Structure 1
Amino acid sequence: MFSNFTLFTNLNRLALLIFITGFSLAIYIHHSIDKTWLEQRYVYEIFQTSQGKDAYIYNGQEIEINQVVPYQSSPLNQQHLNQLNQAPTLKQQWVMDDSQSLFLLKPAFHYGFWSLLPAFITIALCLITREPLTALFGGIVVGALMLGNYDLTDSVIIPNLASQGAAGLLLLYLWLLGGLLGIWSKTGAAQAFAHYMTENYVKGPRSAKLISWFMGILFFQGGTMSTVLVGTTVRPLADKAKVSHEEMSYIVDSTASPIAAVIAFNAWPAYVQALIFVPGVSFLATESDRIAFFFSSVPFSFYGILAVLGTLLLSLNITTFAGKRIRAAQHRALTTGELDAPNAKPLSAKELQRCEVPKGYHSHHLEFILPLITLVATAVITFVVFESPKINWAFGAALLLSAFIALGKGMSLMDLIDGFGNGLKGVVVASVILMLAVIIGTISKEIGGGLYLVSQLGEQLPFWTLPVILQLITMVIAFSTGTSWGTYAIAFPLAMPLAWAVCQSQGLANPEIFMMVCFATVLNGSVYGDQCSPISDTTILSSMTTGCDLMDHVKSQIVPATFAAATAALLWTACVYFFA
């Protein structure tokens, strides 16, 4: 007991020392380190309005281009930015180059390797304290001080929480998801579903994991929706079958974004294609060309393929590549029935772990299945109609249907509201963690850690080393920021022109194959970093929906994920060396 207390005290002291060091360095950086400004190009599909004006679509809205200047005269081109000793006055400007191509210029900056400090502080505190709330807050403080924002509440936290994206996350994960889980807990729907599946399909841990894996493949939209949908669906049957929470969170997380990169009939190609235009490259000239390029590159998504195969092997109880933590978790669950490690702090609160069905209310598995079908159907239909799934509509429809079924079967409104409230309480801590993760991601992007890493590359690299270097850099960016899509926005506009320059300067025989491999490394490296990051929304949600301790999930998942990433790196290198 005494030794444990001493260890706990020493870890707290180390965490405090790291925070104070980061705090001091942040102030020093803001006052003493000069910003390095970089030109950022954004390419959009330009069209003519009915009035004959150039316009483009951004966030679903048509925006007219009112003023265009020659690229060479823009104060935001790299030549002018190199001469700056203060922030540029313009935030963005439309320009036209010598080939008559239109693109949007925006300035961005970094502090050199110091730009990685907030991410380093956050991840270090997370690993030491195993407490993500304080770790994320520490990273936010350090990042805000680097930017000179000393008013954390009014200048940093409130503006970020007031954004449309943050409000959408709160609506979805606190109100809709929390309310749905609470009603399912109150009606006993999840337990009834688990009992039905156990009686008819699930005969033990292996079949429970196989069903979980299959559902992860089935919902191949990727990202938070797949994570939440699969996690909430499979947890009751997996808990009943005594599958450890570390195994379940790994299966859920590793069949979310990885499968979306392989079965890419989702929103990913439409988003990514806007980031990979390279002037003069014929197979990336138009939007349809770039989407076709995305799908042609899918066979090179080695990490996504291997990650999904790794979870299949685990589902079949083949743990050769799973790492000792997952093997230990599996052994613990089988021998003791304990689904969590000792001293674990699951993100899912006790309100969602117990079932308090009102006296006289009879649960039925269809109370779980029908809302789930409604959720999936709404997401699919809105994806077909609007080209993007309306996730809030999907979860809102499932929530309303669950409530109406409960009321129709005789549950009192008071009991229903009580279940809804318990659901909100059950996810409030995870929702706060999610909000802080969004804020630290925004700050990390503004400080420019990703820009710094990518800017270190040069065109004189041996061509066969570039794919792995791009993979490593995007892994670090995504791990540091907790977002794969944010990493795409940073890395693709820099990596694709660089890959083409290497093709041209070194005279590669098959440049399109080389570009496909480099594209796949950025796509997959970002997925790996996002998947393994303790500040990623999908990592947090995988832990929350499966009831796992966040850091237990991170530490157990990183071994099989890294094995898949290392194998993918070898395959990418072999492809470009022998075929490009």
Structure 2
Amino acid sequence: MDHGILSLLPPVLALVLVLITKRVLVSLGVGIIVGALMVNQQQDMFINEAFTQIMSTVTGIFWTEDGINTWEFYIILFLLLLGMIAALITITGGGRAFGEWALARVKTRIGAQFVAAFLGIIIFIDDYFNSLTVGNVSRPLTDRHRISRAKLAYIVDSTAAPMCVISPVSSWGAYIITIIGGILTAHGVTQYGSLQAFLLIAPMNFYAVFAIITVFAVAYFKLDIGAMRHHERLAVTSGELFDQSKGAIPGETGLEAPEAKGKVSDLVVPIAVLIAGTVMFMVITGIQATEGTASLLATFENTDVAASLVYGGLISFAVAVVLAFVRRVEVKQVGLGLWAGIKSMLPAIYILIFAWTIIEVIDALGTGEYLASQVNEFIPLAILPALLFVIAGFMAFSTGTSWGTFAIMLPIAGEIAAQTDITLMLPVLAAVLAGAIFGDHCSPISDTTILSSAGAGSHHIDHVTTQLPYALLIGFVAIIAFLALGVTGSTIVGLLVGAVTLALTLGVTKVIVGRLGTIG
């Protein structure tokens, strides 16, 4: 059944309830139930059918006819491993040692935020890996400088996907290049290959470029706006890094650091092994999938990211266990630490399961297809990139998936360009990529948003409400830049117009914040 505009009801309802009630699981649950009822409304026993669909969807997250659904299962397993690794680092004193070491070298709150941002840029292999690793590595330093967990989550989230989407050597880059290759072949575009097209598109991804720049501007000029201002003030004045009234947060073990001081290596070695092991297995699984005959790009295109995260996590976990016993931590304390690490990740896992479920329900309703159908060629060509940016943004916001938006909207954008003006091919593809990241940053049901909260140790709803004003600000800048690109056809003009707009917007924001009083 074609639900048309009503297919937007479940995701919009869930999003509105999240913002009103601040209770993510309840809000997602309502959206899931309403969506399932809509999908099955023509059935005789539609309530029973809706309940059955929800149960089968949840079961399908972990188990299919072919056996274990490895992607989702491995992501959850990696979260549990990361929680246990973080707990072991805590009980060996590695986190405290790293905090003291970094505090002696990074003297300012600005510097601590820059460190987290640079780590987010450097670790660009995969957004899941980036979100979880950067948050955990940066947390001891940012905690010491009284930087709120919501601020850290914003830094992590706003460097993870934006870097992955413009890097060809990443799981995102490989996926996107594959789609672009098919589009170019379908429309007989031969003047550039898929990789060259991707590299030409990267600087046109105005949202990603300006999001990364804005992270540094927010840190340097102390541009704490909206809910972020509240969280930063609490952190600076009282040392309250997160809203304790909302209970436990993902990634927070609740363990006390041991009396005996650990060493910096107790944190650095497990994390370094995690990074090296994950990258190694990404290469290995990619080579296996291509039977060792493909290029590096094809290797990353076919890599098994989820499995690589687990394999790298297992090696890192083993190293962390060995270090705990080298530091003569009692077996009982290790056991308590591991259990605390597991419990610390359960809130994030619950939210992920609910988010995956509502995404399946939204897919059954045809929400993505409805949004895509609203695009046609009967519009001024100059505004086409900006329009596609907005539509892709709303689709990613409503569905919680950048990759799903890529899969639906990139071919549509390519078809529109082919039927109207082939020179717009790269600009419209760039607009879709940028819009998907924009919508993803605004959406509380996005898995990368959820994992950024978990990695930074922030309440998920706090991360959503604090990041939203910045995402909307950059989204506005990106629309202006895409309008300039559409009118002139020049990437340089689009970047210059966007940069000027961003500078003016940030300047006005700085004046407003200055009148209110800067924090920290």
TM over 0.5: yes
Other-structure match for 2:518: none
Task: Report deviation, 1:485.
Answer: 0.9
Matches within 5 A, 1:159-170: 159-162=60-63, 163-170=69-76
SS in 1 for 2:221: coil
SS in 1 for 2:458: coil
SS in 2 for 1:283: coil
CA displacement, residues 92-129 of structure 1 (integer Å, 9 cap, x when unaligned): xxxxxxxxxxxxxxxxxxx2111112211211121111
Other-structure match for 1:563: 473
Other-structure match for 1:244: 148
Task: Report deviation, 1:167.
Answer: 1.2
Q: Percent identity?
A: 29
Matches within 5 A, 1:200-211: 201-211=105-115
CA displacement, residues 339-362 of structure 1 (integer Å, 9 cap, x when unaligned): 235744553365x143253x6x54
Q: 1:193, 1:368 within 8 Å by CA — same for their partners in 2?
A: yes
Other-structure match for 2:430: 520
The answer to whether structure 1 residue 330 and structure 2 residue 232 are counterparts is yes
Aligned AA for 2:94?
A: A
Task: Report deviation, 1:250.
Answer: 0.7
**Relative to structure 2, which stretch is displaced further, 409-418 or 451-460?**
409-418
Matches within 5 A, 1:11-410: 35-36=1-2, 111-148=3-40, 149-152=49-52, 154-162=55-63, 163-174=69-80, 176-199=81-104, 201-276=105-180, 277-278=182-183, 281-283=187-189, 289-319=193-223, 323-341=225-243, 343-345=245-247, 347-348=249-250, 352-357=253-258, 361-385=260-284, 386=286, 387=300, 388=303, 389=305, 390-410=308-328
Q: 2:402, 2:440 within 8 Å by CA — same for their partners in 1?
A: yes
Task: Report deviation, 1:155.
Answer: 2.4
Task: Report deviation, 1:478.
Answer: 0.9
Task: Report deviation, 1:369.
Answer: 0.2
The whole-number CA distance in structure 2 between the counterparts of 1:255 and 1:448 is 31
Q: 1:249, 1:543 within 8 Å by CA — same for their partners in 2?
A: yes
SS in 2 for 1:354: coil
SS in 2 for 1:364: coil
Displacement over 6 Å in runs of 4+: none
Residue of 363, 374, 384 corresponding to 1:445: 363
Matches within 5 A, 1:448-467: 448-467=366-385
Task: Report deviation, 1:189.
Answer: 1.7
CA displacement, residues 131-166 of structure 1 (integer Å, 9 cap, x when unaligned): 111111112212222222323464232222323322
Q: 1:213, 1:315 within 8 Å by CA — same for their partners in 2?
A: no
Q: 1:476, 1:529 within 8 Å by CA — same for their partners in 2?
A: yes
CA displacement, residues 158-191 of structure 1 (integer Å, 9 cap, x when unaligned): 22232332212221112x1121122222222212
Other-structure match for 2:416: 498
Q: 2:14, 2:30 within 8 Å by CA — same for their partners in 1?
A: yes
The whole-number CA distance in structure 2 between the counterparts of 1:187 and 1:289 is 51
Q: 2:96, 2:257 within 8 Å by CA — same for their partners in 1?
A: no
Aligned AA for 2:156?
A: V
Higher strand share: 1
Aligned AA for 1:549?
A: H
The whole-number CA distance in structure 2 between the counterparts of 1:496 and 1:249 is 34
The whole-number CA distance in structure 2 between the counterparts of 1:458 and 1:140 is 30
Aligned AA for 2:34?
A: V
The whole-number CA distance in structure 2 between the counterparts of 1:430 and 1:383 is 24
Q: 2:8, 2:398 within 8 Å by CA — same for their partners in 1?
A: yes
* Bigger radius of gyration among the two: 1
The whole-number CA distance in structure 2 between the counterparts of 1:275 and 1:204 is 44
Q: 2:251, 2:455 within 8 Å by CA — same for their partners in 1?
A: no
Task: Report deviation, 1:198.
Answer: 1.0
Q: 2:255, 2:340 within 8 Å by CA — same for their partners in 1?
A: no
Other-structure match for 1:93: none
The whole-number CA distance in structure 1 between the counterparts of 2:339 and 2:278 is 25
Q: 2:165, 2:433 within 8 Å by CA — same for their partners in 1?
A: yes
How many equivalent residue pairs? Answer: 455
Q: 1:160, 1:166 within 8 Å by CA — same for their partners in 2?
A: yes
Aligned AA for 2:404?
A: G
Other-structure match for 2:503: none
The whole-number CA distance in structure 1 between the counterparts of 2:16 and 2:59 is 25
Q: 1:344, 1:552 within 8 Å by CA — same for their partners in 2?
A: no
Unpaired runs of 5+ residues, structure 2, are 41-48, 64-68, 287-299, 491-520
The whole-number CA distance in structure 2 between the counterparts of 1:342 and 1:372 is 28
Relative to structure 1, the CA distance from residue 447 to residue 284 in structure 2 (aligned partners, 3 Å threshold; closer, same or farther) is: farther
Aligned AA for 2:58?
A: I
Residue of 330, 333, 344 corresponding to 1:426: 344
Q: 1:243, 1:330 within 8 Å by CA — same for their partners in 2?
A: yes
Higher helix share: 2
Q: Which has the higher contact order (CA 8 A, sep 6+)?
A: 2
Q: State the Cα RMSD in Å.
A: 2.1
CA displacement, residues 65-95 of structure 1 (integer Å, 9 cap, x when unaligned): xxxxxxxxxxxxxxxxxxxxxxxxxxxxxxx
The whole-number CA distance in structure 1 between the counterparts of 2:242 and 2:82 is 23
Q: 2:113, 2:219 within 8 Å by CA — same for their partners in 1?
A: yes
The whole-number CA distance in structure 2 between the counterparts of 1:344 and 1:251 is 22
Task: Report deviation, 1:534.
Answer: 0.7
Q: 1:194, 1:236 within 8 Å by CA — same for their partners in 2?
A: yes
The whole-number CA distance in structure 1 between the counterparts of 2:430 and 2:127 is 18
Aligned AA for 1:381?
A: M
Relative to structure 1, the CA distance from residue 354 to residue 397 in structure 2 (aligned partners, 3 Å threshold; closer, same or farther) is: same
Other-structure match for 2:46: none
Residue of 420, 441, 449 corresponding to 1:539: 449
CA displacement, residues 460-512 of structure 1 (integer Å, 9 cap, x when unaligned): 21111211221111111111121111211121122211222121xxxxxxx33
Relative to structure 1, the CA distance from residue 138 to residue 161 in structure 2 (aligned partners, 3 Å threshold; closer, same or farther) is: farther
Q: 1:346, 1:548 within 8 Å by CA — same for their partners in 2?
A: no
The whole-number CA distance in structure 2 between the counterparts of 1:327 and 1:128 is 19
Other-structure match for 1:573: 483
Aligned AA for 1:238?
A: T
CA displacement, residues 385-406 of structure 1 (integer Å, 9 cap, x when unaligned): 4233511112221111001111
Q: 1:301, 1:524 within 8 Å by CA — same for their partners in 2?
A: yes
Aligned AA for 1:289?
A: G
CA displacement, residues 28-53 of structure 1 (integer Å, 9 cap, x when unaligned): xxxxxxx24xxxxxxxxxxxxxxxxx
Q: 1:492, 1:522 within 8 Å by CA — same for their partners in 2?
A: yes
Aligned AA for 1:291?
A: L
Relative to structure 1, the CA distance from residue 384 to residue 158 in structure 2 (aligned partners, 3 Å threshold; closer, same or farther) is: closer
The whole-number CA distance in structure 1 between the counterparts of 2:247 and 2:261 is 32
Query: TM-score normalised to the size of structure 2?
Result: 0.83
Other-structure match for 1:530: 440
